[in-house]
A and B are shown apart, each in its own frame.
Chain A
């Protein structure tokens, strides 16, 4: 039977939310760790606020896309776009969703990434808060340390330290949650 040789992440969001940026951060972190990386992006009409799906493969894949129902992880930057990405997610594998209200599926990891990013004054970096939370998921293919080193070298210098802070806030949002009994949604 099938033995996937890569950790496949599907990223879903709307144009302008930094979906592609996020895929690059994960990809660059994989590169730093010497693991194979492939990503593919949606361009063109999707730039005008439409749905954006991005695929990141960390491991041995040759093709940039993977099969539906096979992804190791879904990261949704907008709850409305999660369904589009979920098609690619394997049953029982985790989904992590940026949303303010936590009415979603009980199995999903809910992160209010927008508020976390806004709390330190850079709402545009909500994507990094979501990523921070994702790195706490067991099996996430790259280390938080590698991601931090990527963040320290990306984007405008002015925002680097605040972006790092947002990433760490995202991480802490999950580690602190783990210490409490899981809330009912």
Chain B
């Protein structure tokens, strides 16, 4: 009775691909002609995988930020080409301005906004739900359950986008982006059309009067979309359509898969109805109520936020993340889903159970409820030899007792070294430093020294306006730009400072010094943080400049250690006689190649890239490098 679940048995021509790679395959096959985005976990591999197709009729770029990416792609869509813009969920905040307006103007060529949501959050500042932004803007949303379905939804998305002249959001959850599944062979690429821009000022350059008309068009479009058969096809029972249970499960995204697995494993597939809903916005509530028939009690499984639950609440007796039946925060795991299903279906208390695994014949044994022992995760640290660590070390020495505003990137990890006090969002370090400056400099209260720390890619992304603003208004703090020449956190995407392009080719360099000077900064230093003593002196000079009321920028320039192939120098030696185990090198400096164990402090040789910075860190000169001739 129920249709096949949205995956098939693997065959010979299938490959084990990430959901992100499957999405890239879809973009290639569907003839996407312009693709742009800014890297961000868990979305990054989509554009990286698309680059690998080397399609001649595709412009692909890592844009300077998400807003720029969306504007680049939308103009190509105005010209009738298929386009995609790719980002993580918090990246959509940066692109929200063009998105809201794009819903009004609509598009000509199909345009997909691919936004990866990160329940957990695993690598994000928030657990925000992109569907709520879609609701606010009036953009349709498709939620894939599996990587296989994500691939097929690229086709559906382009189709809807072109039929109704509106961008479409495809919203893969982290566990779609970063899970692997067997993906079918690559199909033919849809041939593209020639670009053609038809001028229409009332649409593309609408004044408020015409905006009202466009708003009415948007409302009408959404009504049509709600009834579109291509979208209603995504409303289907994964199992139990005719099931006797008076409670039905309505689910989207990965939680639908967990519910399916649970129901299958418990052998309840003929009794518990599980309705999967792919098209989330505009949600066709009437269709869902029709499909549910006589059943009025439902449990909604979705993430990260409640969305369908709120939409369905008027007509049905609904439970979910909003009502609190399902935990309202955090990633939904198979255990959360199992707990919620057991509670809703009256199967048990929903505790974590330890049960016999594969091969157990003991079907009637009562499950044993066991308390799990607490386990600790190894926290991530900056790599051994990372120049950010050297910058932080010098910062703490040169500006003791300062307020350090931080930013988004590997160097956020400076928080565990006492060198990052705030992290808000991309670019905020610069404007927040100005805010702290004004908080402490409008009275006679003694101001602590203030320093902002931002990476090069993040500075280009959204640090520049903050710097212009600070200079204009006369704030004075040290801005430390950590320039490792790459977007390291997400795997080394190019930056404007390197001038590299997404496909590895060379574009034009946008020099960091020129940008800083162009923002009106007069006090600018460029120094290598691996030359620790000199770098600390530079930071002291910069701090002095601030004390005299002048904004100071220090560019800390040293390549990402992951980009260095060769060892930088010899592995230092530790004189155990001199070492008093003060832990400065292991804890305050915090290099993972330095460990303190029963034998004292030692250097793990195969981890040490030989940067030699620890030599300058030790107050007792117990760390040294031998004669360089050796």
Contacts and interface: CB of A to CB of B under 8 A. Distances in A.
A90 B356 contact: yes
Given A40-B180, A67-B334, A68-B352, A139 B358 contact: yes
A90 B355 contact: yes
B10 A49 contact: no
Nearest to B363: A1
Interface stretch (A3-11, A157-165, A173-181): A3-11
B14 interface: yes
Interface stretch (B29-37, B368-376, B420-428, B545-553): B368-376
B364 A1 contact: yes
Nearest to B267: A3
B289 interface: no
Interface residues of A, number: 58
A127 interface: no
Given A69-B370, A84-B375, A1 B354 contact: no
Nearest to A29: B16
B413 A48 contact: yes
Q: How large is the interface on B (under 10, 10 to 19, 20 to 34, 35 or more residues)?
A: 35 or more
Contacts of B182: 31, 36-37
Contact of A72 (B335, B357, B373): B357
B372 A63 contact: no
A39 interface: yes
B354 A91 contact: yes
Given A48-B410, A87-B375, A62 B145 contact: yes
Contacts of B123: 43-45
Interface in B369-407: 370, 372-373, 375-383
A62 B260 contact: yes
Interface string B262-274: 0011110000000
B264 A60 contact: yes
A15 B381 CA distance: 10
A62 B436 CA distance: 50
Nearest to B258: A63
A4 B357 contact: yes
A62 to B, nearest CB: 4
Interface in B34-69: 41-42
Q: Which of A49, A64, A87 has the most chain B CB atoms inside 10 A of its CB? A: A64
A114 B180 CA distance: 27
B595 to A, nearest CB: 12
Nearest to B333: A65
B279 to A, nearest CB: 19
B269 to A, nearest CB: 11
Contacts of B413: 48
A171 interface: no
A15 B380 CA distance: 8
A62 B257 contact: yes
A60 B382 CA distance: 39
Contacts of B379: 50
A89 B623 CA distance: 44
Contact of B180 (A7, A39, A71, A90): A39
B338 interface: yes
Contact of B7 (A42, A49, A62): A62
A2 B378 CA distance: 33
A46 B123 CA distance: 9
B41 A44 contact: yes
B265 A51 contact: no
A3 B265 contact: yes
Interface in A2-37: 2-5, 7-8, 14-15, 23-24, 27-28, 30-31, 34-37
B98 interface: no
Contacts of A28: 16
Given A27-B180, A31-B16, A2 B355 contact: yes
B261 interface: yes
Contacts of A149: none
A47 interface: yes
Contacts of B178: 40-43
Contacts of B254: 63-64
Contacts of A5: 264-265
Interface string B599-624: 00000001000000000000000000
B530 interface: no
B358 to A, nearest CB: 5
A65 B334 contact: yes
B358 A72 contact: yes
A1 B262 CA distance: 11
A90 B375 CA distance: 16
Interface string B252-293: 001001101100111100000000000000000000000000
A45 B408 CA distance: 12
A72 B359 CA distance: 9
A81 interface: yes
A93 to B, nearest CB: 5
A3 B363 contact: yes
A14 B607 CA distance: 13
Given A65-B333, A65-B334, A90-B354, A2 B265 contact: yes
B254 to A, nearest CB: 6
B5 interface: yes
A109 interface: no
A120 interface: no
A8 B357 CA distance: 9
B352 A63 contact: no
B578 interface: no
A156 to B, nearest CB: 14
Interface string B334-369: 110010000000000000111111110001110110
B330 interface: no
Given A28-B16, A48-B380, A68-B335, A139 B9 contact: no
21 contacts: A5-B264, A8-B357, A14-B378, A31-B10, A36-B9, A37-B182, A39-B16, A41-B179, A44-B41, A46-B380, A48-B380, A49-B380, A49-B381, A50-B381, A62-B260, A67-B338, A69-B352, A83-B375, A84-B377, A90-B354, A91-B354
Given A65-B258, A67-B333, 8 more contacts: A4-B358, A31-B182, A37-B10, A48-B382, A61-B257, A62-B7, A64-B181, A86-B375
Interface of A: 1-5, 7-8, 14-15, 23-24, 27-28, 30-31, 34-51, 60-72, 80-81, 83-84, 86-87, 90-93, 123, 139
Report the 8 A-B pairs with minimum CB-CB distance, sorted nearest first: A44-B123, A90-B357, A50-B380, A64-B179, A63-B257, A69-B354, A48-B380, A44-B41
